[in-house]
Structure 1
């Protein structure tokens, strides 16, 4: 994920809750992100204030944040060719912790650059928002760069009790630092609170009903909105679905399965394309060997940074989000074997949102704050240790790390504010898009989310990587017809990989 832009678009006065925001031209945002604006596109920024706690309360019943506000940053993209405007398309890239402001900029460059089709850009304002706690929206900032370096670089499968205890101590230090800074306000960064902010955004942009495109965790935001405000939904596209009914443990195991399956696909591709994959014929053995070697003798970069087992592991994770990343990983592991870790760090840093100077955005500060606020289930350290051993047998490359990752919320302070997990009765059909080779939100979650909502319609892409729209003409045509004309794909529609 690219680095967030400097927060110049937070200048000026934020509109009070319920008030109409003042939009101002902000071409500096795309310039800071990608050095230019998209041709024929105008960029405007605004901020609105929202209650910190939508539950309210006063006096003795008041909760943390009662009467206080957060500021939410918005960016609106409008095409000079816009005709027959339908309204605004609100977008969220997931995470949690991803910037919707940045996403709106990237999507504005059109389909040939991986953005939205002209058919969408010509009919909608594209509105990106940074959810509460993220980037420009009252950001959560409480994890030092050094602790993030230590966390990402840590052994992904700490087998000895001493090594496991070291990771627990690091997680405790991170949690304590965030608890000391934010205290009992940490639960206010929950998904349900952010979904209620989305309705304030809908009102602020002047739409009677919400049209929304959410990726990955953004599908959870959209699903929560649909349950809270079913009558205010016009059209929701939920791409890379999260099943809200999974608890913390089930969700982590689902990802372990998804990444193992995606890596198996990479392994088979590599064996069949040896000329393009220097890890052939056995990519799994090559990657496992690279991680094992990094545990005892990490390769040192020219600047002294060591490619420990954790950094190699996160390079693997990063590469599985797109099919194009497979060849990048093969090259990175091959160069690591030759003594050059630069490509490993490039892949891992892209995942971690770490720049060349070793500075992180607040992506993972917000990620932990949201994930842990959402969860009532906090497994014990003994239970996590059991899962680590169990998942090592079932999902050898990814299972142990996903089990050990549960420690973060176990050691996170503050209470919880779980999101709803029910039907969206009264909402129109909601399009739920899934990719059969998706590692991060495995395909099984797509029909599960559609079934939970009761009004979900599944659209399947038989492809690789994380999320589908607008990857192929088949997916693009189906989603565009839904967003523009509210035409729902036929039941069971599947799109081929290419």
Structure 2
């Protein structure tokens, strides 16, 4: 999951009551667990005081189990209603995000939108390898965190374009990528892939003494969860994937689809703005305004208070991409209403608020583990200058306004020259003897497009799907109907509705 969505959830929970329906049928509980072998301690004074934290010691390289070990931070929030506890739920929100703080104080990570989950499950999470951004902004910061990649150089350099139009720019990009990767912990950066993290999750299950875990995973983490289900299908009681993505499609197909969906999302934002008087740019030529903002910032980057550099149009484009995914959620929570205000302000040179958006999109705490993980888990078959330029030109035609910004292009460009080999699956990650699995697919999703999400259902035997017909990246945040369906499945392991049209 992208951090803007989790930050959004933290704000949303402060003012919005959940609309989810309480589920009273718990389903079959897993076998009684053994005593945990972890040494639990408090997570610190800033966290929920019922939460517990510990260190999980695992091999750096699971193919060499007797080799170097590393410590991963884990957190557990005991079920608030132990008399009706179902089991243990592993929460996996995605790459580049610190999970410990969200589990230790679950109201900050979005889980509070379904308090029944906090009531009925012990919630656990592993701070990812390489660390991640703290989306509680210190308000619920735990005292233990997994080590960062310790990169000495930022992966995002505003002076290095992701869209170089000539050979000199491409060579500059290659040199930057190689130097950025070389500045990190060289052992850790090579062991961030989905299978490695799936085996970390299995080590946590064993350390907890649980026979099975219930999994709740979002977007990028769907590959991790799917890999775990392939390796250890009998260790999962129930699995919910919100916004899954098939990582086995060819790179060019992956990129074209995401770029097309991002441009479509921009068009849907423009159409909404034309209909809704609450839009700060209502009645104006938004495509022309946006194009002018990006072009001007690329010519003369815009200074931002609290940021160490002026932001370029390219950086604005990537931040806008992540806001486009949020749809028409209420003002103040990072959706289309806020995007319209932000663009109206940028038009006059006002960059208020963009430092925070940058920090949860392109700054090292998030961007280092996100990019490094992507470079090992994303297929890399665009490897020559000619292939790169041919696809770049095609994307410019596909996306005349958004220009080709997408997660996948970030990987294509950011992983050029990357010194670590990709281990992305070359074949579908098929799960036989699958646990009860619910896939939530969103019709309009720039980051996990519908056409790239639907194949996952065919890869997990017997899985059930719910389609959200609106605009979202994580439908959980946009749709009470989806939340109800996910809650019902997590608590009963049985499917409910097949489609949700609320919030469109």
Q: TM-score range by the shorter chain?
A: 0.7 to 0.9
**Contact between 2:222 and 2:241, CA under 8 Å: does it hold in 1?**
yes
Other-structure match for 1:205: 208
In structure 2, how many angstroms separate the alpha carbons of the residues matched to 1:262 and 1:103?
29
Deviations 1:391-427 (A, max 9, x none): 1111234454444651322211133433463321112
**Contact between 2:155 and 2:368, CA under 8 Å: does it hold in 1?**
no
Secondary structure at 1:346 match in 2: helix
In structure 2, how many angstroms separate the alpha carbons of the residues matched to 1:99 and 1:346?
17
Q: 1:131 to 1:238 in 2, by over 3 A?
A: same
Residues 1:176 and 2:182 aligned together = yes
Other-structure match for 2:98: 99
Q: 1:416 to 1:157 in 2, by over 3 A?
A: closer
Q: 1:105 to 1:258 in 2, by over 3 A?
A: farther
Other-structure match for 2:69: 69
TM-score (norm: length of structure 1): 0.82
Q: 1:117 to 1:302 in 2, by over 3 A?
A: closer
Other-structure match for 1:117: 114
**Contact between 2:260 and 2:399, CA under 8 Å: does it hold in 1?**
yes
Residues 1:308 and 2:312 aligned together = yes
Structure 1: segments with no counterpart, 5+ residues: 5-17, 31-36, 58-65, 355-359
Other-structure match for 2:429: 422
Residues 1:20 and 2:37 aligned together = yes
Residues 1:434 and 2:441 aligned together = yes
Aligned residues: 452
Shift of 1:271: 1.2
Other-structure match for 1:8: none
Shift of 1:270: 1.0
In structure 2, how many angstroms separate the alpha carbons of the residues matched to 1:319 and 1:100?
22
In structure 1, how many angstroms separate the alpha carbons of the residues matched to 2:168 and 2:61?
41
Counterparts of 1:6-405 in structure 2 under 5 Å? 20-30=37-47, 37=48, 42-56=50-64, 67-94=67-94, 96-105=95-104, 107-108=106-107, 115-135=112-132, 136-144=145-153, 147-151=154-158, 154-155=160-161, 157-178=163-184, 181-182=185-186, 186-278=189-281, 280-301=283-304, 305-323=309-327, 324=329, 325-352=335-362, 354=363, 360-361=364-365, 363-375=366-378, 377-379=380-382, 380-398=384-402, 400-402=404-406, 403=409, 405=411
**Contact between 1:336 and 1:344, CA under 8 Å: does it hold in 2?**
no
Shift of 1:84: 1.9
Q: 1:399 to 1:455 in 2, by over 3 A?
A: farther
Secondary structure at 1:477 match in 2: helix
Shift of 1:386: 1.0
Q: Larger deviation: 320-329 or 411-420?
A: 411-420
Shift of 1:339: 2.1
Other-structure match for 1:34: none
Secondary structure at 1:434 match in 2: strand
Shift of 1:3: 13
Deviations 1:40-65 (A, max 9, x none): x72110111112222237xxxxxxxx
**Contact between 2:279 and 2:341, CA under 8 Å: does it hold in 1?**
no
Shift of 1:75: 0.9
Secondary structure at 1:435 match in 2: strand
Q: 1:396 to 1:172 in 2, by over 3 A?
A: farther
TM-score (norm: length of structure 2): 0.81
Q: 1:163 to 1:279 in 2, by over 3 A?
A: farther
In structure 2, how many angstroms separate the alpha carbons of the residues matched to 1:345 and 1:264?
26
**Contact between 1:155 and 1:308, CA under 8 Å: does it hold in 2?**
no
Shift of 1:470: 5.1
Q: Tell me how large the CA RMSD over aligned residues is.
A: 2.9
Other-structure match for 1:474: 481
In structure 2, how many angstroms separate the alpha carbons of the residues matched to 1:280 and 1:347?
26
Structure 2: segments with no counterpart, 5+ residues: 7-34, 133-144, 330-334
Shift of 1:281: 3.0
Secondary structure at 1:141 match in 2: coil
**Contact between 1:143 and 1:365, CA under 8 Å: does it hold in 2?**
no
**Contact between 2:79 and 2:123, CA under 8 Å: does it hold in 1?**
no
Q: After the TM superposition, which parts of structure 1 deviate over 6 Å for at least 4 consecutive aligned residues?
A: none
